[in-house]
Amino acid sequence: MSSTTEAPSSGTRQRLDHVDAMRPIKQTAVISTHALIYFSPLSTSLLAAGLLTLTHFSRDAFLFVSACMLAYSYRDSASVKLGHYWKRRFMAVGLVYLVWSVIYFPIASMQTSTTFPYYRLPMSAIFSHTGLHNFLFALTTGYYHLYFLIVLLEFYVVFPYIFKLIRHHPKSHLYIVVGSVVWQLVYPMAVGRGWLGFSISSKLETRLVFSYPLYLLGGVVAAFYLEGFHDFVVRHKRALLSWTVVFGAVPIVMDYLYRHHDGMPKSLAPGADPFAFSVVPYDVGAIIAVYLLGVYLVSPKRSARTRAITKSGSEAAYGIYLSQMIWIIFLHRWMFQWGVLRHVPWLIMMLFAVIFAYMVGWLFSAIFARTPLARGLVGRGQVPWNTFFPQRGQFAKTAHDDFGEGPLNLTDE
């Protein structure tokens, strides 16, 4: 097995290059989800709805990997030192969330205009009691995709207790995984149908840590058996990928039946319910597929340039994720204003939007990572300008460095 999957000899400073390589892949899937929402006819196109189902795993992958890497960084520790723990968690996620909540508030308040950039800021509405109320509401609920970070912060609250349980009761691992699977399948139906005596909105459901037990608790348990997990996945990669394709077809078929036949339960159709249990097996398989792609990208068999580009994408991934909606919103407005949306097929427009948002996000992240604003804007420490462009020799020089900042940072010092 590759040395990248060996347990750290001391501390938490162990880089897992193949896991790091998952970051740009997941961000591409996140951007694809939002590009589909903005540029495709989801209400009339089965293809668009199917693609949305297939890309939506990115949220669960983000949470799984974040939980797994956090637990991995502590698995050789006797306890979680809360002082260091919360300082690190706040700098990696909390500060970034606050900064970007401020950035997205005026963007969410923009009104269309007939002059470039075809948006204007209603300053009187922003700086008012209503504006303050709207900002506080957005801060507590998470603007659009920023709710990923809210869920992660909620998980940070309970992680020390989960870690203590697993550390002191190693035989509980299997029960935790089985329980999380059952919860993942039953809980959405329970709250959706009022079985618990109450119901919650779909927006609130997406922002509660209770909605993602399989991916969060599964990630924690996987961290304690990461070497065995790696060996199993690599050894059975063809079967796992094949089953992922099969599992991916199931929710698409279910969604089609829900749209065209009466009597299909909503809980089975991912187009009607993002927590439908028919999509859970695919989400798990997709996470494994991305893991395998990460292993492939950092393999010594790949060229030094490929690995350097992968590393550059990994380092910029957090900034890409945070800023993506700015580029998608403005691109959609420009394409609409210039009449492009009426003449270019939506699939081509969607693919262009993914590439555009990713590349502009990469450029944004790469630039601001080299300024004093790096910590708040892209969630990492400032780096020198001479590292702006990935070099083929860069991978070999930094193969044993720490993770960049953000949820996947393994360092707690």
Q: Which amino acid is at 295?
A: V
Decide which of 190 and 99 is more confident. 99
pLDDT at 212: 96
User: pLDDT by residue (tens digit) across 123-170?
Assistant: 988 999 999 999 999 999 999 899 999 999 999 999 999 999 988 888
In degrees and rounded to multiples of 5, residue 121 shows phi and psi of -95, 120
Average pLDDT of the chain, as a whole number: 86
Decide which of 278 and 182 is more confident. 182
Question: What integer is the mean pLDDT of 25-40?
Answer: 95
8 A C-beta contact, residue 382 and residue 374:
yes
Contacts of 56 (CB under 8 A, 6+ apart): 33, 270, 274, 279, 283
Paired tokens of 44: 């009339």
Is residue 219 pLDDT above 90, yes or no?
yes
Q: CA 207, CA 146: separation in Å to the nearest integer? A: 10
pLDDT at 11: 36
Q: Which amino acid is at 171?
A: K
- Tokens 């059952």, located at residue: 182
Of 373, 366, 357, 382, the residue nearest 309 (C-alpha): 366
| Within-domain flag for 271 | no
pLDDT at 360: 98
| Within-domain flag for 3 | no
Is residue 46 pLDDT above 70, yes or no?
yes
Which H/E stretch holds residue 119?
Answer: strand 119-120
pLDDT at 378: 93
Residue 272 pLDDT grade (very low, low, confident, very high; cuts 50, 70, 90):
low
Decide which of 93 and 260 is more confident. 93
Residue 410 pLDDT grade (very low, low, confident, very high; cuts 50, 70, 90):
very low
pLDDT at 277: 84
pLDDT at 266: 67
Q: CA 410, CA 66: separation in Å to the nearest integer? A: 10
C-alpha distances (whole Å) from 393 to each of 296, 302, 309, 311 are 19, 13, 11, 12
Residue 405 pLDDT grade (very low, low, confident, very high; cuts 50, 70, 90):
very low
Of 223, 256, 255, 289, the residue nearest 29 (C-alpha): 289
| Within-domain flag for 7 | no
Question: What integer is the mean pLDDT of 91-115?
Answer: 94
pLDDT at 367: 95
Pairing status of strand 111-112 against strand 119-120 = antiparallel
8 A C-beta contact, residue 97 and residue 146:
yes
8 A C-beta contact, residue 296 and residue 2:
no
Question: What integer is the mean pLDDT of 277-295?
Answer: 94
- Tokens 């969410």, located at residue: 108
- For the chain, the domain total comes to 1
Helix, strand or coil for residue 120? strand
Decide which of 390 and 410 is more confident. 390
Question: What integer is the mean pLDDT of 90-116?
Answer: 93
Question: What integer is the mean pLDDT of 44-48?
Answer: 85
| Within-domain flag for 6 | no
Distance of CA 67 to the CA centre of its chain: 12
User: pLDDT by residue (tens digit) across 348-374?
Assistant: 999 999 999 999 999 999 999 999 999
Q: Please give, one letter per residue, the 3-state secondary structure of 291-335.
A: HHHHHHHCCCCCCHHHHHHHHHHHHHHHHHHHHHHHHHHHHHHHH
Contacts of 173 (CB under 8 A, 6+ apart): 166, 221, 224, 225
Q: Which of 73-87, 259-273, 330-344 has the lowest mean pLDDT?
A: 259-273
Q: What is the DSSP string of 364-379?
A: HHHHHTTSTTHHHHHS
- Tokens 């306890």, located at residue: 79
Q: CA 146, CA 131: separation in Å to the nearest integer? A: 19
| Within-domain flag for 409 | no
> Above pLDDT 70, what percent of the chain?
88
Is residue 68 pLDDT above 90, yes or no?
yes
pTM of the complete model:
0.87
Q: CA 289, CA 1: separation in Å to the nearest integer? A: 18
| Within-domain flag for 260 | no
| Within-domain flag for 329 | yes
- Please name every residue paired with 111 in a beta bridge, in sequence order, or none if there are none: 120
8 A C-beta contact, residue 280 and residue 214:
yes
pLDDT at 14: 52
Q: CA 208, CA 13: separation in Å to the nearest integer? A: 31
3-state percent helix, strand, coil for the chain, nearest multiple of 5: 70, 0, 30
Which range of residues forms the domain containing residue 54? 12-253+283-397
Is residue 7 pLDDT above 60, yes or no?
no
Question: What integer is the mean pLDDT of 390-413?
Answer: 41
Of 401, 317, 399, 377, the residue nearest 100 (C-alpha): 377
| Within-domain flag for 413 | no
Tell me whether residue 46 is exposed, middle or buried, using C-beta atoms within 10 angstroms of its C-beta: 0 to 12, 13 to 18, 19 or more.
middle
pLDDT at 31: 97
8 A C-beta contact, residue 138 and residue 108:
yes
